[in-house]
Every structure is written in C-alpha cells, then in structure tokens.
Amino acid sequence: MTQTLTLPRPDDWHLHLRDGAVLRAVLPETARHFARAIIMPNLVPPVVTSGDAAAYRDRILAALPTGMDFTPLMTLYLTEQTDPDDVAHAHASGLITAVKLYPAGATTNSTSGVRDFDKVRAVLDRMAEIGLPLCVHGEVTDAEIDIFDREAVFIDRVLDPLRRATPGLRVIMEHTTTRDGVEYVKANDSGLAATITTHHLIINRNDILAGGIRPHYYCLPVAKREEHRLALREAATSGDPRFFLGTDSAPHTDPNKESACGCAGCFTATNTLSILAETFEQEGALAHLEGFVSRNGPGFYGLPVNSETLTLTRGAPITYPATIDTEDGPITLFDPKMPLHWRVD
Ligand code: DOR
Ligand code: ZN
C-alpha cells in the first residue's frame, strides 16, 4: 500500500536567498515546497533599513518564476545604528516579520552586527512593546572561546541577560545545535522558541572532520558532538511547539566552499522535506512532522497556518541532483548519506 502524508504547506523560518544569479537559481528550490520563509538579511551590504528590506523583497518577488506562490517574510539586520522608529514603521506596515541579531563577526557577512548590546537596547525595548520577534544567531565571537562552546557560552553570557533585561521580547534562538540550547528553550515558558536545521539533525562534527575535511558539511554554528545531534532529533520530533524548522539553507558556490578558507553554509532547500520525512520516520514520529514544518512556526509568530496542502509519498529511493547550477557556478546540495524514500508530489 502506498503511504502518503498530506500536510498544510510548510514554511521555512530561516533561509538565505542571496541576490542576483544565486537568488534566481535557489528561489525556485524553496518556493516549490514552502509557502513562506523568513529571509536572512546578511547581504553585502546588509539589509539594515526598511528601504533596504522593501527593495530586497521586490527583487525576490521579481525573481520568482511565474506560477509559483511564495511569500518572503522580510527581516532587518540589527546594527548599533538601527533606528527604533524605522523598525516600528516597517513592522506596522507589514513589511518585516522579525529583526535579526548577529553578534559582530559571528558568521558570514556579520561585521555590521552588534558589539555593544547597550547600543541596541532602545530597539529591543521597542520590539518588545510592539510584539516584533528577534531572531538570534546564538554564538559568542570571543577568540578565546572554543568554537564548539560558543553557543553554550552565548546562552549564559548574552541570551539569558538580554531576555531578563527585556522581558516582553519574543526571541527565536536560531539553528540551535546543542543540548544546552534545547534545555534552555525547554526551561523557559513563554516568548522563547528555537529553530532547528535539517542538516544538524543528520551530521555531527565527525562528518566534517573524520577521514578527510568535508567543506560541504561546514556551517555555523558548526555541528557538535553526537550527543547534541541526538538532543536536536529528540526536540524536533517531540511535538513540542517551541521547536520548528528553520533550514538555514545557505548557498555558496563550490569554489567558495572548496577553498583554503571556505564559507560556512549547507544548501538544503531542495531535499529538506524528503530528509525530514525520513528522519521523523526513523524516530517513529511521522505524526509530529506536521507540527515541526507547518504549525509550530506560525504558532509562535502569530501567523495563520497555510491553507494549501503538500503531499509526501513513500516509495522507492529517489535521487536529487548533486548540484544546482547558477550563472555564478554550481552549488552542491547537502548529501544526507542515506536513501530518501519520501518524495514531494
Ligand atoms: O552556515 C551558515 N551560513 N551560518 C550562518 O550563520 C550564515 C550562513 C550564510 O550566510 O552563509
Ligand atoms: Zn543563517
């Protein structure tokens, strides 16, 4: 008997679309399956004002192939110069859905991020007042902190004090990679959620480093030890509404990944739903897939669940292309190293 799974159309609560040729190539990969996505603002230069966000939204919509239905949920990149009034205006007009906090230097194109949290206090206070969520890249950047500890240290030194200082602020701990992150979310009742990526459910740090260095598994936050991957799988498949999908699908062309100093990012837009269905099936939790990809995100953001549906069908293993071609060069698709039986109809 054919096994099928019909869900409200999923959303991606953390996505990098880039610009220009890469945007044109990767946007259909997401729009084919996802109704909406939170669009990361770390372009060069970053999306810092409402004017930048409106212009970027228009470029995304212009790149959307005819007949595809997709809504980009725009974000502003928080800097020490961000104007609380501009943020409030962008929120009131429906232009933005969240603001993104990058600690300066934490990851790709984050040099304009925040160094002194006192300088963004007025923006955070205003966001709490108007109910605008903050998406957080949760890693400290101090050179003396080991890269594998940067998320856990961020929770203690930055995230928890920040949330205590701004109690009404709704916070999404993005791409959480540790048991510490999962436990922090579980221990806090309201106003805090976490996104989990597809790739962090599949790989641990051995996949990047053992038996040769594999740049296509390198992303930030970097994948941690196996115990952390298992904690993420438990959280994602548990049905707990505080955890939902943010793929962090982050395209870089192959020459930029396969380099002496390669870029961070796994490109997962194309095969994410097949990988997740396989993963939830392995965990005996297919019934919770709908919450993770279609319901928990809109629940936290206070948005409606999509009314259209998407159907997954289980059958013989399917193959995805190894790369997506762009005018700037090929982009390697994340390889989950397991057969995928669920295809999106
Ligand atoms: O792996 C990552 N890639 N992590 C990030 O935080 C940024 C992203 C990117 O923009 O490439
Ligand atoms: Zn990201």
Centroid of chain to Cα 249: 7
Residue 109 clears pLDDT 90, i.e. is over it? no
* Residue 18: both structure tokens together: 């880039």
What's the N-to-C CA distance of the chain in angstroms?
17
CA of 247 to the centre of ligand 2 (A): 8
In angstroms, the CA 28 to CA 9 distance is 15
Q: Which domains does the chain have, with CATH numbers?
A: 4-344 (3.20.20.140)
Query: Are the C-beta atoms of residues 329 and 253 closer than 8 Å to each other?
Result: yes
Give residue 137's pLDDT band: very low, low, confident or very high (50, 70, 90): very high
Give the position of tokens 């293993």: 317
% of the chain at pLDDT higher than 70: 100
In angstroms, the CA 80 to CA 248 distance is 24
In angstroms, the CA 120 to CA 123 distance is 5
pLDDT, tens digit, for every residue of 200-228?
999 999 999 999 999 999 999 999 999 99
CA of 62 to the centre of ligand 2 (A): 23
CA of 36 to the centre of ligand 1 (A): 19
* pLDDT of amino acid 111: 84
Ligand 1 contacts CB of residue 222 (under 6 A): no
- Identify which of 15, 23, 44, 107 to mutate to test ligand 1's pocket (most ligand atoms within 8 A of the CB): 107
Q: Which ligand approaches the C-alpha of residue 256 most closely?
A: 1
* pLDDT of amino acid 107: 77
Degrees, nearest 5: CA angle 137-139-140: 130
pLDDT, tens digit, for every residue of 282-324?
999 999 999 999 999 999 999 999 999 999 999 999 999 999 9
Residue 238 clears pLDDT 80, i.e. is over it? yes
- Identify which of 220, 259, 266, 331 to mutate to test ligand 1's pocket (most ligand atoms within 8 A of the CB): 220
Residue 106 clears pLDDT 80, i.e. is over it? no
Q: Which ligand approaches the C-alpha of residue 113 most closely?
A: 1
Ligand 1 contacts CB of residue 265 (under 6 A): yes
Ligand 1 contacts CB of residue 107 (under 6 A): yes
Q: Is 248 a catalytic residue?
A: yes
Ligand 1 contacts CB of residue 256 (under 6 A): no
- Identify which of 44, 222, 263 to mutate to test ligand 1's pocket (most ligand atoms within 8 A of the CB): 263
Residue type, 100: K
> What average pLDDT does range 258-268 have in this prediction?
98
CA of 42 to the centre of ligand 1 (A): 9
CA of 117 to the centre of ligand 2 (A): 21
Ligand 1 contacts CB of residue 306 (under 6 A): no
Residue 105 clears pLDDT 70, i.e. is over it? yes
Query: Are the C-beta atoms of residues 111 and 104 closer than 8 Å to each other?
Result: yes
Give residue 128's pLDDT band: very low, low, confident or very high (50, 70, 90): very high
> What average pLDDT does range 330-338 have in this prediction?
98
Catalytic residue among 11, 52, 180, 248: 248
> What average pLDDT does range 137-151 have in this prediction?
95
* pLDDT of amino acid 110: 81
* pLDDT of amino acid 1: 64
Total length of the chain:
345
